[in-house]
Amino acid sequence: MSHPRAPELDNQYRSDRVLQTWLHQHLPVDMRQAIEADLDALGAHAAQAWHEARSRTPQKPVLTQWDAWGERIDRIESTPVWQNGAVMAARYGLVAAGHELQFGEFARCDQFLRVYLHHIASEFHTCPLAMTDGAATALKASGNHELIERALPRLTAREADRLWLSGQWMTERIGGSDVGNSETEARRDEQGQWRLYGRKWFTSAVIGEMALTLARPQGAAEGADALAMFQLETRDAEGRWNGIRIDRLKDKLGTHELPTAEIHLDGALATPVGGLDHGVRLIAPMLNVTRTWNAVCALATMRRCIVLATAYARQREAFGRPLIEHPLHVATLADMQAEFEVAFQLVMQVAHLLGRSERGLASQRDAALLRLLTPLAKLWTGKLAVRIASETCEAFGGAGYIENTGIPQLLRDAQVYPIWEGTTNVLSLDALRAISSVGFEPLLEAAAALLDEADASDAAARMEWPLREIRAALVTIREWLPRQAANKEAMQAGARGLAMSLARTFAAALACRNATRAVAGRIDARAAQSLTRFIALGLTELRPFDPSRAIDLLEPASR
């Protein structure tokens, strides 16, 4: 019997059937040819980075606050992979590709496929890149020409020495979700320039050249509407910190390479991006972009977990045969694969809709779908990545609990996806906000249209069962919603179940349409098998809730 070995990775672009099928089905041939060399290089880099990371001691960034002579310097030394982060970002256009015009409505697809392949190898350098992309998007939407002219070419640069990274500094001690409570104040100095004073409690990209942040102009009212969005550059022309002190780096469960910092703003020079209020509304385009990054990166974690667990199952023997030959083990892995495959379809649909919308090609229904699907994709994939990463640890047995196999890191890092950029509950409530602004009909109608298209395909006969199940789930959702609508509290209590149901059902409809195309075109017969398995896991999670009774289940407050 052979001893267990470390699982190995091959080129992560070439071996990814789901990605290959998606490319084949969705992208014009000339575009595919144009981007293939980059995707291939990123796939090779991903494999190489995995093997290199296993052969060195993990490092964390180091903050040095004072120099030998007592001068405050607040210098952060990044890990080696991060030191090369800007070079990789610029070379492969990880931000730029989403903003360039050559691929029209597919620009975001191009970009997010690159991000998907690079994310794990980047050791979460994708986090500041997400915020950089979000900042570029929010600045464009603001119409502030001066700032756009100054910052946009840098945020989307293809040259590493010109590339700016941007932070998104929203979170304060008083709350991460309830941004309306922000205490940071903006005051005008004697020259009439705005300066920021306050404390930001989680800043993920303090190493960047700029940030978008929220602050309350002095004398403004309380609440979210009175917050303004500001842009600031982190250093002055001489390279000194712009009124920023780094208090410490966070000691986190995961994402250890990421220098998340607590900072004080002590007179940081800043520029209002729009008016002096409605900062949350102004920063929303950034949130929606970073939430899409979050979903793409969650997919990357899922795929990496499944590839490693499957590779291990092929070589690890137990009870006289490889794990892959044990029915229960292989069923567990197949369930993970099925969930990943369907989630992949949803996330890439969000990427495509974002691209269509940014190129002015989105119909009213596309725009409504984008608003609805963005929080759904983020919240579902965040939770799914944690579940798959946890199952992966288990699939490795004891080795999955040993730090230097690299497996526990996948789980620790995955736990950030449901927290970053709004927790599952905050995103579920955002989905309700979206439903109340655009209705849920666009989503149900679009799902029905996808199923009709699938139904009309020659391959539909083999897909009859999934079609019926997805249609039934749509009916369940349609009937559930009006029953809850009368009671706002019950609606909120059920928001997570509703969001998960909408995400899973819409994703299944999309996967169904794509699978019939794949089967009919003889591109990928396994796509239909995955969908069948996914549907067997269940589409809806709707339950009636009575929030007044829920609290009775909990222990009373301790004295």
Site residues, ligand MFK (CB under 6 A) = 124, 126-127, 130-131, 168, 170-171, 177, 179-180, 204, 224, 278, 280-281, 284, 287-288, 290, 293-294, 297, 420-422, 426, 430, 433
Position with the least CB separation from ligand MFK? 224
CA angle (203, 207, 209) in 5-degree steps: 105
For residue 70 the two structure tokens come to 């007592």
Q: At which residue do the structure tokens 């070379």 appear? A: 91
Q: Which is nearer to ligand MFK, 212 or 395 (CB)?
A: 212
CB of 360 to ligand MFK, least distance (A): 18
CA distance 61 to 249: 9
CB of 34 to ligand MFK, least distance (A): 26
**Sequential DSSP letters for 280-333:** HHHHHHHHHHHHHHHHHHHHHHHHHHHHHHHHHHHH-EETTEEGGGSHHHHHHH
In the complex, minimum distance from the CB of residue 404 to ligand MFK, in angstroms, rounded to a whole number: 24
Residue whose CB is less far from ligand MFK, 138 or 507: 138
Residue 28 CB: number of other CB atoms within 10 A? 11
Closest to ligand MFK by CB, 338 vs 368, is 368
What is the CA angle 292-298-303, rounded to 5? 130
Nearest Cα to 382, choosing from 445, 297, 448, 466?
Answer: 297
Task: Select 126 or 184, whichever has its Cβ closest to ligand MFK.
Answer: 126
Kindly tell me which of 375 and 408 has the beta carbon lying closer to ligand MFK. Answer: 375
Which of 255, 310 has the CB closer to ligand MFK?
Answer: 255
CB closer to ligand MFK out of 353 and 511? 353
Residue 241 DSSP label: B
> In 3-state terms, what secondary structure has residue 85?
helix
Name residues whose C-beta falls within 8 Å of residue 320's C-beta, 6 or more positions apart in sequence: none
CB of 161 to ligand MFK, least distance (A): 24
Crossing angle for the helix pair 495-520 and 17-26, nearest 10 degrees? Answer: 70
Cα 160 to the center of its chain, rounded Å: 24
The distance of closest approach from Cβ of residue 433 to ligand MFK in the complex, given in angstroms and rounded to an integer, is 6
User: Based on CB atoms, which residue is closest to ligand MFK, 111 or 290?
Assistant: 290
Shortest Å, Cβ 377 to ligand MFK = 12
Query: To 10 degrees, what angle do helices 526-536 and 17-26 make?
Result: 110
Nearer to ligand MFK, 156 or 374 (CB): 374
Q: How far is the CB of 315 from ligand MFK (least distance, A)?
A: 31
Q: At residue 318, what are phi and psi to the nearest 5 degrees?
A: -150, 145
User: What are the beta bridge partners of residue 261?
Assistant: 203, 249
CB of 292 to ligand MFK, least distance (A): 9
Are 400 and 407 a contacting pair, CB within 8 Å?
yes
Q: What angle do CA 211, 217, 218 make, to 5 degrees?
A: 135
At its nearest, how many Å lie between ligand MFK and the CB of residue 86?
Answer: 16
Which candidate, 375, 286, 298, 256, places its Cα nearest to that of 112?
298
Residue labelled with tokens 């309350």: 216
Residues whose CB is less than 8 angstroms from the CB of residue 113 and which lie 6 or more positions away in sequence, other chains included? 19, 23, 35, 39
Locate 291 and state its tokens: 């939430």
Q: How far is the CB of 192 from ligand MFK (least distance, A)?
A: 27
What are the structure tokens assigned to 269, written together?
């020079």
Closer of 52 and 178 to ligand MFK (Cβ): 178
Which CB sits closer to ligand MFK, 286 or 519?
286
- Smallest separation, CB 403 to ligand MFK (Å): 22
Spell out the SS3 assignment of 169-234: ECCECCECCCHHHCCCEEEECCCCCEEEEEEEEEECCCCCCEEEEEEEECCCCCCHHHCEEEEEEC
